[in-house]
Structure 1
């Protein structure tokens, strides 16, 4: 499901990618890659609150994700 989600993202089929990321998370709730990928889809769809939530979850699982903290700050500024 995760690999297909990546393909959907690359094909700009963001809703399908999100659906596959959700399936990945049902199988493995700690899959930070699926959370980050889903967040990127939400950003593309301009669904900033959902993106922020997914990015925050991913950083809790893996605090070493490059650039995610900056992206979180950027989204928070956009929403402020």
Structure 2
């Protein structure tokens, strides 16, 4: 059951990033958690898995966050 929930939240995060990141923007984990209705700490874990898998890229710093590693069309 946990794998299904993780997959669901991962898809929600990727969709939110695709909609947000068409201009190459990034979104914070807390904002993605709020949009997708995911607990914040769990969203951070999901985003870490997506980053390790090469689906998202992270940017550190005050303007940092997460964005898609590739364009949404691919």
Instruction: Give the structure-1-normalised TM-score.
Output: 0.34
The structure carrying a bigger strand percent of its residues is 2
Higher CA-based Rg: 1
The structure carrying a bigger helix percent of its residues is 1
Instruction: Give the structure-2-normalised TM-score.
Output: 0.36
